Amino acid sequence: METIQSIILGIVQGLTEFLPVSSSGHLVLAQELLGTKPGGGILFEVAVHIATLIAILLFYRKRVAALTMGALTLDNDAWRYIFKLCLATVPAVLVALLARDWVEQQFESILVVAICLIITGFIVWSTRYTLDLGRMVEPSWLAALIIGCVQAFAILPGISRSGSTVAIALALGLAPLAAAEFSFLLGVIAMAGAGILLLPELTTVSGEALNAILFGGAAALISGLIALWLFVWLLKNQRFYLFAWYVWVVGLITLALTLR
């Protein structure tokens, strides 16, 4: 049963990490419905995040390769884009360092998840009015910082990181595919940092918990690749905002069950 639960939670993570519905909020709700947390605790969550990181690297492999080659050859355009990603990462790092205890407390509240999911619905719905406006292929320095501040806000469970960062990027004038690319490559830095910091703790994990981590990670990788393809397809076909209805329904049902 532990393995099945891990696979379910891995699929939930993979799908919701990229679709604009909040992976953290859905993981909290999934764990509540299952009545348990998978073996490995926080390491399990880090493992599935690393799996979704690998999904990003695979999906954007050409762009990642181009940036890597550009960085090695001291290409100004590549380094400018990389530095913008680093700048956009700073706000989330500051929040994680300065308000870690408070943020962790929010993950214990289903009410917070419900309210944040409803907020996410409005954020995603806003893209209905901005999808056709953007033409820029790269954010300005100020836009990168603003996107980073929005990512920091998305640390809260129920606020979609992908949905909120893409929404603000579109509002700031980025073209849809450029907005998605910057958002997901921005996520690579945060996911990689969390994985590196906690990697030494894998040596203390039991065999049963390690199985949960491996199965959950594999499920997150496969479902993450599917979700990435669907995310980009929705942007291309201007159907991205429709996810707002799903998030509103889940948020309102969760809110009703919490307040009953």
Pair of tokens at residue 105: 């407390």
159 secondary structure, DSSP code: S
For 215, the 3-state DSSP assignment is helix
More confident position, 149 or 37: 149
Model pLDDT for residues 181-229, shown as the tens digit of each residue: 999 999 887 777 666 666 665 555 556 667 777 888 889 899 999 999 9
Distance CA 251, CA 116 (A): 8
More confident position, 72 or 203: 72
Distance CA 185, CA 61 (A): 11
| 124 close to 163: Cβ distance less than 8 angstroms | yes
196, 204, 209: which is closest to 40 by C-alpha? Answer: 209
Element (H, E) at 6: helix 2-18
How does residue 1 score in pLDDT terms, banded at 50, 70 and 90?
very low
Report, as an integer, the average pLDDT of 150-164: 90
How does residue 171 score in pLDDT terms, banded at 50, 70 and 90?
very high
Distance CA 128, CA 134 (A): 12
Residue 215: half-sphere exposure toward Cβ, Cα within 13 Å: 18
pLDDT at 71 over 90: yes
Which residues 6+ apart lie within 8 Å of 119 measured at CB? Answer: 158, 159
pLDDT at 86 over 90: yes
- Give φ, ψ of 174 to 5 degrees: -75, 145
Distance CA 46, CA 217 (A): 9
The helix/strand count (H/E) of the chain reads as 12, 0
* Least confident stretch, 75-79, 153-157, 191-195: 191-195
Pair of tokens at residue 163: 């949905």
More confident position, 13 or 204: 13
Average pLDDT, the chain: 85
- Other C-beta atoms closer than 10 Å to the C-beta of 157 total 25
More confident position, 236 or 79: 79
Domain ranges of the chain: 2-259
The residue whose two tokens read 């690579």 is 188
Q: CA-CA distances (angstroms) from residue 42 to 21, 104, 147?
A: 21, 11, 27
Q: CA-CA distances (angstroms) from residue 132 to 29, 176, 193, 196?
A: 34, 8, 34, 39
| 156 close to 106: Cβ distance less than 8 angstroms | yes
Distance CA 171, CA 227 (A): 23
